[in-house]
Structure 1
Amino acid sequence: MRRFSPVSRPLALCAALLVVLGLSLPAQVARAADDPGLLNVTGTAQIPAIPDMATIRIGVVTEDRRADRALAGNASQMSAVLAKLQGFDVAPRDLQTSDLSLSPVYEPGQDYRGQSRRIVAFRASNILTVRVRDLERLGEILDASVGDGANSFGGLSFGVQAPGPLETAAREAAMKDALARAETLATAAGVGLGPIRSITEQGGFRGPQMMRAEMAMADAAVPVAAGEVSMSATVSLVIELAQ
């Protein structure tokens, strides 16, 4: 039996490794040549809808020299607002209290020694989020809320009560848009489309978002325009190209 010297043994291993690599490279190149190629496309869609619900944020802010009286006054005014909203048949599930806070109010500026300002009062704040499902009464609700104690307004947005069908329609339209883009690109490149490798929904849904205000509510105490909302979807496809 032939014995390898310590010096020749590494040389034999390197030679064997080169043989293995040399035999495997042609197979790897062949597989790359057979790859049909992939096309990445993105489709978008936006489905408009008439809103049937509004969300408002109204608040009560009270001040008093004593913290307990500031809180008590705030609670009294907010109770009056809640009672008025119940008169408009706003369901309890559509009312949510948030951002209840109590903070000191300092006198303006600093004293002559640059010392911290002293507390002159306490401010209590309470925010109420209200979902209004009867848009014809939205103006009345805003007017009544302010008249019965709400003295701050945090914003108004419109939406739909059942967004599911809009989401489905947006997804379907985004998929059609992506496939149409893929067909256009493949035709221009002179190739065909093969099977879809992957489907990715990017970013979820935005909306409903306010787009434009054009539907006035003439009989409302506070003029309000509901306008139009939309649901958006984005879909990305990876499609195999047919040679």
Structure 2
Amino acid sequence: MFRKQCAKEFYYFYLGGILVKTKRLKVMLIVIVLLFVSAFIFSLWRAEASSAPASQSKTEINVKGVASVFAEPDIAVVTFGVLSEDISADAAYSKTSSKINKIIDAIKKLGIDSKDIKTLRISVYPKYSYNKDNNTSKIVGFYASTDLRITVRNIFQVGKVIDSAFKNGANIFSDLRFDISNVAPYYNQALAKALENAKEKANVLAKGLGVSLGKPRIVNENTYVNAPPIVYKTQEMALSASSSQVQAGTIEIKAEVTLIY
């Protein structure tokens, strides 16, 4: 009986020891896991902290390349017109229309196509006379004007077109504009040169700063309006010229490019 009682007590004592050991093992495992998690989070924090100054101090190179190509114009746009005056609006308009039709016929004989002759505007408006004595004004006549725009595709005919217009009744001269019918090839040449110019600038800056260049992160083609040259001529000059000598010169086609490294 005594032996059974001892064996039973020893059995319970032994099981209790196992339970105690199991609880301690669980606690130790939890502690170890927490330590590993803490160490992992700390390593991530150190990595971010060490990389942040490097990204903030990274050098950015921003350059703009500019280039121009010069080309001879192959077309000209001439704008002129007729202004007439008469007692009635109808009479003034008839005078202007008659001269305009005469001008158009003469220009067509020079080989100018109908599609290159454009009527810009037709205006009829009264002519007033002001009376200083009673501060009144009245209509004493009318003005009528018509403006034409002529595109001359043979640059050597510009002078003849101007002469023909004024010999047949034109008395208004607005402007003479030279242009290039197909500017795309010249612009692409300028664009390629502008890109090379930007690359050269970037290389000079990188060499001076002691940094290496990769491919640019951003490439922008800057919008640039290439305005053709305009030649202005007064009415007196046009009417007095017996033979117009027009020099077209050259046109500058410009391009700009921005690179960001």
Q: TM-score range by the shorter chain?
A: 0.7 to 0.9
- Displacement of 1:37 in angstroms is 3.0
Asked if residue 98 in structure 1 is aligned to residue 120 in structure 2, the reply is yes
Matched-pair contact (CA < 8 Å) for 1:60–1:78? yes
Please identify which structure carries the higher strand content: 1
Map 1:1-243 to 2 at 5 A: 27=48, 30-31=51-52, 33-34=54-55, 36-107=58-129, 109-115=130-136, 117-209=137-229, 221-239=243-261
| TM-score scaled by length of structure 1 | 0.77
SS of 1:222's equivalent?
coil
Residues 60 and 152 in structure 1, CA contact (< 8 A), matched pair in contact too: yes
Aligned equivalents of 2:165 and 2:229: distance in 1?
25
The whole-number CA distance in structure 2 between the counterparts of 1:185 and 1:235 is: 17
TM-score normalised according to structure 2 size: 0.72
The alpha-carbon deviation at position 210 of structure 1 amounts to 6.2
Q: What residue ranges of structure 1 are gaps of 5+ in the alignment?
A: 1-22, 212-219
C-alpha contact 1:210 1:229 (8 A) present in aligned 2: no
- The 3-state SS of whatever aligns with 1:179 is helix
Secondary structure of the 1:192 match is: coil
TM superposition shift of 1:194: 2.0
Identity %: 29
For residue 77 of structure 1, report the CA deviation from its aligned partner: 0.9
Deviations 1:162-208 (A, max 9, x none): 21111111111111111111111111222121221222222333133
**Whole-angstrom CA distance in 2 between matches of 1:135 and 1:163:** 16
For residues 192 and 207 of structure 2, the distance between their equivalents in structure 1, rounded to whole angstroms, comes to: 23
Contact 1:207 1:232 (8 Å CA) reproduced: no
CA RMSD of aligned residues (A): 2.4
**Higher deviation after alignment, 188-197 or 167-176:** 188-197
Q: Which moved more, 1:170-179 or 1:27-36?
A: 27-36
Aligned length: 207
| CA distance, structure 2, for counterparts of residue 209 and residue 189 of structure 1 | 42
Cα drift, residue 80 of structure 1: 0.8
Letter in 2 for 1:166: Y
Residue 3 of structure 1 is matched in structure 2 by none
- Change over 3 Å in CA distance of 1:54–1:24 after alignment to 2: farther
